[in-house]
Structure 1
Amino acid sequence: MTVPASTPAPRAFVSYSWSSPTHEAWVLSLASRLREDGVDVVLDKWDLKPGHDAIAFMESMVTDPTVTKVIMVCDRTYVAKANAREGGVGTESQIISPEIYRSGSQDKFAAVMTDADEDGRPYIPTYYKGRIYFDFRSGDRFEDAYEQLLRWLVDRPQYVKPKIGSVPEAILSAAPAATATQSKARRAEQAIRESSVSAVAYVREYGDALVPELQALSPDIARGEATDEKVLAAVAAMRPYARQLVEIAGVAGRYSEDARVWEALLAQIERLARLMWRQPDIMSWHPHQFDAFKIIARDVFVSTLAVALDEERFDLATATIDRPWLIRPTEGANRPSTSDFTAFDNHVESLEHRKQRLQLNRISLHADLVHDAHAAGSAPSLESVLQAEFVIFLRSVGQATQGRWYPFPLVYASDRFAPFPLFARAESEAFFARLAPVLCVPDVAEFRRRLTEIEGGDRVSRMFDHQGLPVKYLANADFLGSRR
């Protein structure tokens, strides 16, 4: 590395001991090479003339502001004289040592190590311990050490600290982590990964901590307020907990073969879903009081199904859709106590109120919330969530259900004419056979018949302000089971 001609040459003084002719020749060679590489080296052999005051010369080299660097070549003799304050080296040490501790001189001095003791430790003057040095003790590493020294002399470090940028918007706008349940969540995940017999217990323990945390985030709504703002603030506060629960589901889908673990997770989702309705101990409430829970519970249910489908755990996906959910309050006699999956799809009145209050020209604010919650880099991705919505919708129109499932997030797929990944892979006959239980169909022929019936109905054509939904394209109807 050579200093550019336009750059002022740095001026460096070399302090060393006349230990031996060999050592003196080594120092002279080093100083000569540094001068060749653009450093104005000051050396007694060149600059201290006969009759000059040696002490004044040394002192001026250390204190002269034009001397930007001082190199101390440390061998056994140099260190012994420096510590004992003997000879010329001792005199230089008396001048150098106080300068080293001055705040403005921290980068002016550096040691060049050429010798080591019996234990391999470099010889360093006592006043210099713990500071920067360049290791020339090994001939094999001379070139590396020389480059480091030269870079220090010309102030061209090998590694330059990057300029401070701006914090990514995704970090600034991200909701805080669900720290109150983080420890229990990590414990549950670890137990699941290790197939521990305690995994189910740890999932239940996590749920015991989760539900009170979510209850505490219920919006405090008074009549006459803009309730939608409070509902959205509560949703934002609950999001980290929702993501955390779905992350545990993702770990279970990937690592666990124990059906009881998945059942324990669904039980925690069930407990969350019960918050969508007034509990018996709540005597006074606002009609929008439970809207935040409706948004979060639905998203957790769909996202959990999405991670199961992503992992191709069709057994877990089927268990999720087919589970009898004990979440609705029992009202009156001769009614079933459990509900099917449609219990998670509830009208969120506060979002409609917001749409009217702000005169927002949006098809579905709820769909926008889902879109924003599953932005790029999230898990599950927006595509995975839309795919799960599509599967649930097909189940809801393909069989008798207790309620209806309106797949409003699929407004973001209304102009999509490529199949979702699951249905693209279902061109394989074997893959479709594995997927069929999730769709609750016996074979491809029956599924195609059902798709034709769904797409021809008024329900699909009226969706999304009559934009409709390209059901047969999204399901890859023409090519299902076409490959063996």
Structure 2
Amino acid sequence: MDKASEKVPKVFISYSWTNEEHIEQVIEFATYLVNNHVDVILDEWDAPEGIDLNYFMEENVRSEDTDFVLIISDKEYARKANERTGGVGTETQIISKRVYEDVNQTKFIPIVWQNDDDGKPCLPDYLASRRYFDLTPKNRYSNSEKVLRRLHGIPENPKPKLGEFPKKLLETNKYYPSLKEIIETFDEKIEKNPKSINSISRHFFKDFLHNFDEFKIKFQTRNALEIANQLHDNIEEFIPLRNYYIEFIEKITQVYEFAPVDGDIIKELFENIYSNYFIPKPGESYISEDFMNFDFIVRELFLYTITISIKNEYYQLTSNLLNTPYFFNDPYNSNDTKTFLDLDKRRYVRTDEYLTYYCKEHNLNKLTGMGHFLISRIHKNYVIEELVNSDILCCHISIINLQDSDGWFPFTYIYKETKYMHLYQKLISESYYKKVKCIFDIESKEELVKKIKYSDEYFGKMRYGFRSVFMNYVKPISEYINADEIASRK
């Protein structure tokens, strides 16, 4: 038994001798309390013939040994208390004085035993603003235990323990008012002037990138768990900024038919992130772990951009992001031609290793921390399958268009639940094929068939995926579409 249950609460019951039935009900309730470890003082038990009842009542109400006074109020009790008549009136003079003098007192507990003719609780005026227990006939059985819990100090819904101070509140404002304003005024501005979309986009991405500095990590420890925890906390804190980005990409892709944005502006954002946060400045000391959070963040932003552009059928933007060159301000490799594949830093940064270690240490038991956190924090407007399909598409494009033997690795592929990919299956439609062929960087069906065959050969020779997952590898394009059926239907 804990300390709360060891103590026997001492309770005095104040009530009206309304009639024999009411007295019997009060005795029954008092017996229930006694049977449940409560010491009840009741006139029927503790005031023998010959005792001064006023003295008995006053002594028990005032006594410091009395922990609680239960005021069982029916119509008669409320009337006598308000009119100050009878024994109830005498008790009321004492109790009401104590109640009025200390508004925070909790010794005197009202119990509503009866409602009036209007269905309102019968309570004396001095108790009208106090919280009470409802033991009217229909609630008497169900609420009796609540009274018992109150007397023993064991509430049904205890107050939780005080948590640690949320340190994130001390950090930079996460509401990003400038980004919010751009999004909220976007529709009105585009309606007035569709050509303003490029200037609006540049303004948004400039402000968006400005906030990246607050997410820089400089690890002061070599402890793997501390690094993993700091990495996890950092990417979690990025979610509000990420959501503004997603909302803005949704806006600009929804209006592309009458206000097409220059895809290079979006690509420039990724070029700037790469140049500013993946490439150390000359003479700057760093370790590869310092870039892990941005490795995750860039991958997430890129996948959402692909997902949103496909969902809103802005296929030219998808193609621009996947098939045109990137220009990074890299003083160490200035002559190299870059592609979206350079945004995949897994060969240089151990992001997945540390996030997977975080999962292990926090009993999440995940094969890939990178994949797990990409899908576990999915934006409310999307489903996991959409993001996974975009991840797989990036992998396929890196293989068939860039012919990179170490292409984009789709960390989320193990979370794919269906054998269906909307973009591939719909290629049997000639009209759809014409709209999306730019994604595959082709001019003819024959070119696409050739690339699909190359995909088959590549994935046939190489099991592309997690080596620890038996018989679950990234599937080639032909797994989703028969090349002979491409553009075969009107």
Range of TM-score over shorter length: 0.5 to 0.7
Q: Secondary structure at the match of 1:110?
A: strand
Change in Cα spacing, 1:459 to 1:117, as seen in structure 2 (3 Å) is closer
Does residue 1:91 correspond to 2:90, yes or no? yes
Q: Secondary structure at the match of 1:374?
A: helix
* Contact 2:82–2:124 (8 Å) recurs in 1: no
Q: Shift of residue 110 of structure 1?
A: 1.0
Q: Shift of residue 382 of structure 1?
A: 6.4
Report Cα offsets for 1:360-397 as digits up to 9, x if no partner.
Answer: xxxxxxx9553243143534676544422332233344
Q: Distance in 2 between matches of 1:123 and 1:229?
A: 60
For 2:476, the equivalent position in structure 1 comes to 471
Change in Cα spacing, 1:383 to 1:109, as seen in structure 2 (3 Å) is closer
Q: Secondary structure at the match of 2:72?
A: strand
Change in Cα spacing, 1:464 to 1:15, as seen in structure 2 (3 Å) is closer
Report Cα offsets for 1:276-330 as digits up to 9, x if no partner.
Answer: 2369995533576784545543442233213444x35353753653685764239
What are the residue-to-residue correspondences of 1:176-191 with 2, within 5 Å? 179-180=173-174, 182-191=176-185
Report Cα offsets for 1:82-117 as digits up to 9, x if no partner.
Answer: 4xxx65334212443466578998255315386889
For 1:208, the equivalent position in structure 2 comes to 206
For 2:302, the equivalent position in structure 1 comes to 301
Q: Secondary structure at the match of 1:247?
A: helix
* Contact 2:459–2:476 (8 Å) recurs in 1: no
* Contact 1:271–1:327 (8 Å) recurs in 2: no
Q: Distance in 1 between matches of 2:230 and 2:261?
A: 28
What are the residue-to-residue correspondences of 1:381-420 with 2, within 5 Å? 384-399=386-401, 404=404, 406-410=406-410, 413=413, 419-420=419-420
Change in Cα spacing, 1:316 to 1:72, as seen in structure 2 (3 Å) is farther
Change in Cα spacing, 1:435 to 1:149, as seen in structure 2 (3 Å) is same
Q: Distance in 2 between matches of 1:176 and 1:438?
A: 44
Q: Distance in 1 between matches of 2:212 and 2:445?
A: 43
Change in Cα spacing, 1:48 to 1:230, as seen in structure 2 (3 Å) is closer
What are the residue-to-residue correspondences of 1:244-263 with 2, within 5 Å? 244=240, 246-252=242-248, 257-259=254-256, 263=261
Q: Shift of residue 55 of structure 1?
A: 0.9
Report Cα offsets for 1:200-237 as digits up to 9, x if no partner.
Answer: 67765553343233235445599xx9799999788657
Change in Cα spacing, 1:163 to 1:184, as seen in structure 2 (3 Å) is same
What are the residue-to-residue correspondences of 1:136-215 with 2, within 5 Å? 143-144=137-138, 146-147=140-141, 150-155=144-149, 160-161=156-157, 179-180=173-174, 182-191=176-185, 206-215=204-213
Q: Shift of residue 46 of structure 1?
A: 9.8
Change in Cα spacing, 1:377 to 1:253, as seen in structure 2 (3 Å) is same
* Contact 1:112–1:135 (8 Å) recurs in 2: yes
For 1:439, the equivalent position in structure 2 comes to 440
TM-score (norm 1): 0.62
Match of 1:80 among 77, 82, 101: 82
Q: Shift of residue 72 of structure 1?
A: 3.9
For 2:271, the equivalent position in structure 1 comes to 273
* Contact 2:424–2:481 (8 Å) recurs in 1: yes
Report Cα offsets for 1:383-431 as digits up to 9, x if no partner.
Answer: 54442233223334444x5x95844533664898963533575386479
Change in Cα spacing, 1:91 to 1:161, as seen in structure 2 (3 Å) is same
* Contact 2:81–2:89 (8 Å) recurs in 1: no
Q: Shift of residue 161 of structure 1?
A: 1.5
Q: Secondary structure at the match of 1:93?
A: helix
Q: Aligned AA for 1:54?
A: L
The sequence identity of aligned pairs, in percent, is: 12
Report Cα offsets for 1:14-53 as digits up to 9, x if no partner.
Answer: 434x8xxxxx34xx54443454565589887998777542
For 2:5, the equivalent position in structure 1 comes to none
Q: Aligned AA for 2:244?
A: I
TM-score (norm 2): 0.61
Change in Cα spacing, 1:217 to 1:232, as seen in structure 2 (3 Å) is farther
Can you give the 5+ residue segments of structure 1 that lack an aligned partner in the other structure? 1-7, 19-23, 137-141, 359-366
Does residue 1:53 correspond to 2:52, yes or no? yes
Can you give the 5+ residue segments of structure 2 that lack an aligned partner in the other structure? 1-7, 34-39, 358-366
Q: Secondary structure at the match of 2:156?
A: coil
Q: Shift of residue 274 of structure 1?
A: 1.8
- Computed over aligned residues only, the root mean square deviation of the Cα atoms, in angstroms, reads 6.0
What are the residue-to-residue correspondences of 1:301-450 with 2, within 5 Å? 301-309=302-310, 311=311, 313-315=313-315, 318=318, 321=321, 327-329=327-329, 341-345=340-344, 349-351=348-350, 368=368, 370-379=370-379, 384-399=386-401, 404=404, 406-410=406-410, 413=413, 419-422=419-422, 425-426=425-426, 429=429, 433=433, 435-441=436-442, 447-450=448-451
Change in Cα spacing, 1:125 to 1:418, as seen in structure 2 (3 Å) is closer
